[in-house]
Amino acid sequence: MAFIAFDFASTTGAAPAKDFTHQLCGFTRAEWIAIRLARCDGVASVRAASPIGSAVRRLFGLEPANRLADPRLEALRRVAVCCWRQRPIDSRQVEALIGAGFSFDHVALIRAHVQSAG
């Protein structure tokens, strides 16, 4: 009989985090997926579309990254994009993340994950 591991850490090959911060402010599976998806998104997906930027995208047929349907996950994705791209996190993004129910510990956990992933 085969064994099927249903926990997230064993299916992704990631070692379980042992730090105290993760125990206090962990992420759900959907939130971890949003953080990992943000690795492929560019900084332009975080900024608001300007009229000139929209015209350039239409002219060259460029598609911006799609926003996530869940506003909570979208706030998380925006902060994660800045971390993956090593950009400063805008105060409005932090306010949106806090307003979505996250804390500053969550931002630290995202940064630690990004640094460990390289």
User: For tokens 């990631």, what's the residue?
Assistant: 14
Q: pTM of the predicted model, to two decimals?
A: 0.69
Distance from C-alpha of 91 to C-alpha of 88, rounded to nearest angstrom: 9
Please say whether the beta carbons of 76 and 102 come within 8 A: yes
Task: Output the CA–CA distances (angstroms, integers) from residue 70 to 15, 35, 75, 107, in the order listed.
Answer: 28, 13, 9, 18
Q: Is 20's pLDDT higher than 50?
A: no
Q: Give the CA radius of gyration of the chain.
A: 16
Residue 65 to residues 42, 62, 84, 107: CA-CA distances in angstroms? 8, 10, 15, 22
pLDDT digits (tens, 9 = 90+) for 77-118: 999 999 999 999 889 999 999 999 999 999 999 999 999 987
Tokens standing for 9?
């850490």
Q: What is the pLDDT of residues 36-70, one digit of tens each?
A: 999 988 887 887 767 887 787 788 887 766 788 89
